[in-house]
């Protein structure tokens, strides 16, 4: 497929300065090919340390297509990489392992370590979830947190594998609390902590977002008419100097619905109340169909209505390994200074 080879060649050439910079900073996890913007929608190639993770979301790749792409990446980086191909093009977006092209070497599927700014992260080519264990487009946000957490208390909401928490700990935070309802994700967060033994220990709270953040914010937890709420951990009302809010696009639980398109406010309001006066809330919206301008307006209006006007609002874009021809990357991040 010469067109695909050419598109990858252009992407690798375009990244040369960024990759040189990242390597010099102790980072070996980054996107090598962002198909939707670089000529092959639905195809991504990511480096995670020793591993090359290829993912297709629309059309499956044949072995004849896949192997030359991998060889091209190895040549450009001057290093051998263990190939893992996860085809997510099937109806339920789960990995189809029936074809030989999906079989990776045992070494490639074993636990690996990737690095970002000198920090170690657990890398697994395949695991129980669908997404890789570290979201690469959030690297600039992790960097911001690392640079602005010295001596601060940090609350990492929807923490997943706790990369933001780890960055805060590396940046000298005096307290890091990671919150997520999935014990499996927090378990990887604990592994990430253990892979960086020089850092101070982080805290982990396994809880649904809604009861946890509403308790921290001092808001009541309301059961729906006649329904008994499941158990949730009890937390004291308190505020944090840095609050990081990066929810999934949509998720439903017994306590409420996370819906970034229709109702960002019910996530945002308690997160603002849990942010200290003079604190910073870093909030994200990864839904491509939400435009930055509309979302920013909503966010600022919500803060005003709460009597917590934003003193400064900065936009943080993903790095150049996530190019965006229209300047509207799906992952939008705002840094709100109160
Ligand atoms: C998009 S990931 C967040 C990525 C993360 N911020 C990071 O730094 O990589 C979404 C996370 O939200 C968690 N989650 C979804 N709904 C939740 C809820 N109602 N309460 C708590 N966690 C939830 C999932 O378990 C998952 O770990």
Using CB atoms within 10 A of its CB, is residue 278 exposed (0-12), middle (13-18) or buried (19+)?
Answer: exposed
Average pLDDT value for residue range 294-300: 98
Class of domain 136-337: alpha beta
Strands of the chain (E only): list them. 29-34, 43-48, 51-56, 82-87, 112-116, 119-123, 153-157, 175-180, 203-206, 240-245, 250-253, 256-259, 275-285, 312-316, 332-337
Instruction: Determine phi and psi for 103, rounding to 5 degrees.
Output: -80, 120
Residue nearest to atom 13 of ligand 1 (CA): 158
Cβ of 87 closer than 6 Å to ligand 1, yes or no, is: no
Atom of ligand 1 nearest to the CA of 158: 12
44 close to ligand 1 (CB < 6 Angstrom): no
Distance CA 285, CA 300 (A): 14
Which atom belonging to ligand 1 lies closest to the Cα atom of 208?
20
Q: What is the pLDDT of residue 97?
A: 63
The predicted-structure confidence for 77-129, as pLDDT tens digits, reads as follows 999 999 999 998 875 555 556 777 778 888 888 999 999 999 999 999 999 88
* Ligand 1 pocket, residue 249 CB under 6 Å: no
Atom index in ligand 1 nearest the CA of residue 209 equals: 20
How high does pLDDT run on average in the chain? 95
Going from the Cα of 180 to the center of ligand 1, the distance in angstroms, rounded, reads: 6
In short, whether 181's Cβ falls inside 6 Å of ligand 1 is: yes
**Would the pLDDT of 63 be above 70?**
yes
Among residues of the chain, what percentage have pLDDT more than 90?
88
Domain positions in the chain: 2-108, 136-337
Check whether domain 2-108 has CATH 3.40.50.1000, yes or no? no
């Amino acid at each position: 497929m010469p067109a695909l080879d050419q598109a990858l060649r252009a992407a690798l050439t375009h990244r040369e300065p960024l990759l040189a910079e990242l390597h010099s900073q102790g980072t070996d996890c980054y996107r090598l090919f962002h198909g939707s913007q670089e000529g092959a929608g639905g195809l991504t190639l990511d480096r995670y340390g020793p591993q090359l993770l290829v993912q297709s979301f629309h059309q499956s790749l044949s072995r004849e297509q896949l192997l030359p792409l991998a060889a091209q990446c190895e040549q450009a980086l001057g290093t051998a990489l263990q190939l893992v191909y996860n085809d997510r093009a099937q109806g339920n977006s789960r990995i189809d392992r029936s074809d030989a092209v999906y079989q990776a070497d045992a070494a490639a599927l074993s636990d690996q370590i990737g690095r970002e700014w000198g920090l170690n992260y657990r890398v697994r080519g395949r695991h129980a979830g669908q997404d890789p264990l570290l979201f690469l487009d959030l690297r600039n946000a992790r960097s911001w947190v690392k640079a602005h957490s010295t001596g601060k208390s940090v609350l990492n909401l929807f923490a997943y594998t706790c990369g933001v928490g780890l960055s805060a700990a590396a940046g000298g935070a005096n307290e890091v609390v990671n919150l997520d309802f999935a014990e499996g994700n927090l378990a990887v967060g604990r592994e990430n902590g253990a892979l960086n033994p020089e850092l101070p220990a982080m805290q982990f709270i396994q809880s649904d977002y809604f009861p946890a953040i509403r308790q921290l914010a001092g808001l009541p937890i309301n059961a729906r008419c006649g329904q008994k709420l499941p158990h949730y951990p009890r937390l004291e009302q308190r505020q944090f100097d840095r609050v990081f809010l990066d929810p999934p696009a949509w998720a439903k639980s017994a306590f409420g619905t996370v819906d970034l398109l229709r109702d960002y406010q019910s996530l945002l309001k308690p997160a603002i109340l849990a942010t200290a006066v003079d604190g910073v809330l870093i909030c994200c919206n990864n839904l491509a169909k939400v435009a930055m301008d509309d979302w920013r307006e909503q966010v600022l209006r919500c803060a005003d209505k709460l009597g917590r006007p934003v003193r400064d609002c900065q936009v943080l874009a993903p790095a150049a390994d996530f190019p965006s021809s229209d300047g509207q990357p799906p992952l939008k991040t705002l840094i709100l200074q109160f």
